[in-house]
């Protein structure tokens, strides 16, 4: 999607709603606001579009249900609150969507579920099946086992990873600000809203103060990072004020609301796109110069013979970085053998794999379909 006007033809949309919006500033769930977003999503579904919803709000709802007035410090209490609140969250969505004749599905995910090849393939096919059935998946982080969102307010990233895995056309991040500003509007009231920008425009980093602050609790830095991730599968991102009247239907009808971030890259093939969006590397392989050239110039698979060093502990199917002689990452991919086996077969021809470890899965250490060049 290269132009904002093309948003009207978006077929698959990911909508992300954060805690601050859902809970009206720290109280329980704001059911009136939620009812309005649900009605808008139902309207989008009627227009023959598929919508998946990434929703936070479980901690806040859990706190309200447990009668806690202040947010606890400890992680296990926050996780407990999330598991209590998730019930309220899905109950709310379920009954509201039902009033529009739509089914919902609860999907709790961790970043791992979207990065491990086996789980990624499973979660993707479940979500695609739900969309094909006309069901609206309601996705949240699985806070019992993962804590990224509790720590970093990072459902923005989850939204982007879902957009990647479903090859969505657009990710709409509803937030408590009208969009992205040229400068921090709380410091400079004359700062203007950015209506549209290309995702690789270096000025964007300056605008969100990326160089100053690290990971915010769901601040503009994580939103911009999410938009960059979403762009890797060719999805546009809209960052927009969630309290704006009829915000979703207006954005999708092409109205100039919020900030529209245009993807710059051509869509990669599905698997390569997914690899490029990975967050967690489990280890690295040091390659000899010959292997680096083969990867970079002929797009071939990585064979054990080209590997001269292994670091990290990884399993078959994990994502590892491939480094050149200077330690620079040249590629990343899903490895066919675990770290221990890789140490045994490195520098060796593939014909010796069976003799060295007792069996052969594949002659390649990383198949070219599971490899993506970096940099
Ligand atoms: N996933 C959690 C939620 O939905 C975390 C949000 C938070 O830390 O407040 O509420």
Q: pLDDT digit string (tens) for 26-45?
A: 578 999 999 999 999 999 99
Domain end, chosen from 207, 240, 267, is at: 267
**Residues 262 and 283 grouped into a single domain:** no
Query: Is residue 229 within 8 Å of 277, Cβ to Cβ?
Result: yes
Residue 272 belongs to a domain = no
Q: How far apart are the CA of 110 and the centre of ligand 1, in A? A: 13
**Residues 77 and 216 grouped into a single domain:** yes
Instruction: Ligand 1, residue 217: give the atom nearest the CA.
Output: 8
Segments forming the whole domain that contains residue 210: 5-267
Q: How far apart are the CA of 134 and the centre of ligand 1, in A? A: 26
Distances, alpha carbon 28 to alpha carbons 38, 66, 76, 173, in Å: 17, 11, 20, 21
**Residues 80 and 46 grouped into a single domain:** yes
Instruction: Ligand 1, residue 85: give the atom nearest the CA.
Output: 10
Q: And the tokens for 239?
A: 């960052």
Task: Name 266's Cβ contacts closer than 8 Å, sequence gap at least 6.
Answer: 234
**Strongest mean pLDDT among 56-65, 67-76, 100-109, 125-134:** 100-109
**Residues 197 and 290 grouped into a single domain:** no
**Residues 175 and 316 grouped into a single domain:** no
The predicted pLDDT at position 277 comes to 64
The CATH number for 33's domain is 3.40.1160.10
Residue 363 belongs to a domain = yes
Establish whether residue 54 lines the binding site of ligand 1, counting it when its CB lies within 6 angstroms of any ligand atom.
no
Establish whether residue 61 lines the binding site of ligand 1, counting it when its CB lies within 6 angstroms of any ligand atom.
no
Nearest CA to ligand 1 atom 9: 59
Residue 157 belongs to a domain = yes
The predicted pLDDT at position 106 comes to 98
Least confident stretch, 76-85, 199-208, 260-269: 260-269
Residue 171 belongs to a domain = yes
The predicted pLDDT at position 216 comes to 46
% of the chain beyond a pLDDT of 70: 92
How does pLDDT run across 158-217, given as a tens digit for each residue? Answer: 999 999 889 899 999 999 889 999 888 888 889 899 999 999 898 998 888 765 544 445
Section 140-159 average pLDDT: 87
Least confident stretch, 105-119, 187-201, 214-228, 322-336: 214-228
- CA 208 to chain centroid, in Å, comes to 19
Establish whether residue 341 lines the binding site of ligand 1, counting it when its CB lies within 6 angstroms of any ligand atom.
no
Domain end, chosen from 267, 292, 316, is at: 267
Establish whether residue 240 lines the binding site of ligand 1, counting it when its CB lies within 6 angstroms of any ligand atom.
no
Residue 208 belongs to a domain = yes
Least confident stretch, 174-178, 300-304, 361-365: 361-365
**Residues 236 and 285 grouped into a single domain:** no
Residue 9 belongs to a domain = yes
The predicted pLDDT at position 125 comes to 78
Query: Is residue 280 within 8 Å of 319, Cβ to Cβ?
Result: yes
Edge-to-edge strands of the sheet including 329-334?
Answer: 307-311, 283-287, 319-323, 329-334, 371-373
**Residues 227 and 114 grouped into a single domain:** yes
- CA 126 to chain centroid, in Å, comes to 16
Section 258-267 average pLDDT: 84
Q: In the structure, what pLDDT confidence band is assigned to residue 237 with cuts at 50, 70 and 90?
A: very high
Best substitution site from 68, 151, 155 to test ligand 1's pocket, by max atoms within 8 Å of Cβ? Answer: 155
Best substitution site from 21, 78, 143, 222 to test ligand 1's pocket, by max atoms within 8 Å of Cβ? Answer: 143
**Residues 263 and 351 grouped into a single domain:** no
Least confident stretch, 141-145, 171-175, 240-244, 316-320: 316-320
**Residues 105 and 210 grouped into a single domain:** yes
Section 55-59 average pLDDT: 94
Q: How far apart are the CA of 15 and the centre of ligand 1, in A? A: 16
Establish whether residue 57 lines the binding site of ligand 1, counting it when its CB lies within 6 angstroms of any ligand atom.
yes
Domain end, chosen from 267, 295, 327, is at: 267
Return mean pLDDT, the chain.
89
**Residues 322 and 358 grouped into a single domain:** yes
Section 221-248 average pLDDT: 93
| Burial of residue 354, with CB atoms counted within 10 A of its CB: 0-12 exposed, 13-18 middle, 19 or more buried | exposed
Query: Is residue 138 within 8 Å of 107, Cβ to Cβ?
Result: yes
Establish whether residue 149 lines the binding site of ligand 1, counting it when its CB lies within 6 angstroms of any ligand atom.
yes
What DSSP line would sit under 35-72, residue for residue? HHHHHHHHHHHHTT-EEEEEE--HHHHHHHHHT--S--
Nearest CA to ligand 1 atom 7: 150
Q: How far apart are the CA of 5 and the centre of ligand 1, in A? A: 33
pTM for the whole thing? 0.76
Nearest CA to ligand 1 atom 8: 150
Q: In the structure, what pLDDT confidence band is assigned to residue 75 with cuts at 50, 70 and 90?
A: very high
Best substitution site from 81, 88, 139, 141 to test ligand 1's pocket, by max atoms within 8 Å of Cβ? Answer: 141
Q: How far apart are the CA of 7 and the centre of ligand 1, in A? A: 29
The predicted pLDDT at position 318 comes to 86
Query: Bigger pLDDT: 248 or 112?
Result: 248
Establish whether residue 59 lines the binding site of ligand 1, counting it when its CB lies within 6 angstroms of any ligand atom.
yes
Q: Return d(Cα 276, Cα 262) in angstroms, integer.
A: 18
Section 143-169 average pLDDT: 88
Q: Return d(Cα 374, Cα 364) in angstroms, integer.
A: 19
Query: Bigger pLDDT: 122 or 142?
Result: 142
Q: Give the Cβ contact number of residue 213 at 10 Å.
A: 11
Instruction: Ligand 1, residue 62: give the atom nearest the CA.
Output: 10
Q: In the structure, what pLDDT confidence band is assigned to residue 268 with cuts at 50, 70 and 90?
A: low
Residue 13 has pLDDT above 90, yes or no: yes
Quote the number of domains for the chain: 2
Section 226-236 average pLDDT: 90
**Residues 213 and 293 grouped into a single domain:** no
Task: Name 236's Cβ contacts closer than 8 Å, sequence gap at least 6.
Answer: 1, 7, 169, 170, 171, 230, 260, 261, 262, 263
| Burial of residue 214, with CB atoms counted within 10 A of its CB: 0-12 exposed, 13-18 middle, 19 or more buried | exposed
The CATH number for 294's domain is 2.30.130.10
Residue 179 belongs to a domain = yes
Instruction: Ligand 1, residue 153: give the atom nearest the CA.
Output: 8
**Residues 296 and 326 grouped into a single domain:** yes
Residue 273 belongs to a domain = no
């Amino acid at each position: 999607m290269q132009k904002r006007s093309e948003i009207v033809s978006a077929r698959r949309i990911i909508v992300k709603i954060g805690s601050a919006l859902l809970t009206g500033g720290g109280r329980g769930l704001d059911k009136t606001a939620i009812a309005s977003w649900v009605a808008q999503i139902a309207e989008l579904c009627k227009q023959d579009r598929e919508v998946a919803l990434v929703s936070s709000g479980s901690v806040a709802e859990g706190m309200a249900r447990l009668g806690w007035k202040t947010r606890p410090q400890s992680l296990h209490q926050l996780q407990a609150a999330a598991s209590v609140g998730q019930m309220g969250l899905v109950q709310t969505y379920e009954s509201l969507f039902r009033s529009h004749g739509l089914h919902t599905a609860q999907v709790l995910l961790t970043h791992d579920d979207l990065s491990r090849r086996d789980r990624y393939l499973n979660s993707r096919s479940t979500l695609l099946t739900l969309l094909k059935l006309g069901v609206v998946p309601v996705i949240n982080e699985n806070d019992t086992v993962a804590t990224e969102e509790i720590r970093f307010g990072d459902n923005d990233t989850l939204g982007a990873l879902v957009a990647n895995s479903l090859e969505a056309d657009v990710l709409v991040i509803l937030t408590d600000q009208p969009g992205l500003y040229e400068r921090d509007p709380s410091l400079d009231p004359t700062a203007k809203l950015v209506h549209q920008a290309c995702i690789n425009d270096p000025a964007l980093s300056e605008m969100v103060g990326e160089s100053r602050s690290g990971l915010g609790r769901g601040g503009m830095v994580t939103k911009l990072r999410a938009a960059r991730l979403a762009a890797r599968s060719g999805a546009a991102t809209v960052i927009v004020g969630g309290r704006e009247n009829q915000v979703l239907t207006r954005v999708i009808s092409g109205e100039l609301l919020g900030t529209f971030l245009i993807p710059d890259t051509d869509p990669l093939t599905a698997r390569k796109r997914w690899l490029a969006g990975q967050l967690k590397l489990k280890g690295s392989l040091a390659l000899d110069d010959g292997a680096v050239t083969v990867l970079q110039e002929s797009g071939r698979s990585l064979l054990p013979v080209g590997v001269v060093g292994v670091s990290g502990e990884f399993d078959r199917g994990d994502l590892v970085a491939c480094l050149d002689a200077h330690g620079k990452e040249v590629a990343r991919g899903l490895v066919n053998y675990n770290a221990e086996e890789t140490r045994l077969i490195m520098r060796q021809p593939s014909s010796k794999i069976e003799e060295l470890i007792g069996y052969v899965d594949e002659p390649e250490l990383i198949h070219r379909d599971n490899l993506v060049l970096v940099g």
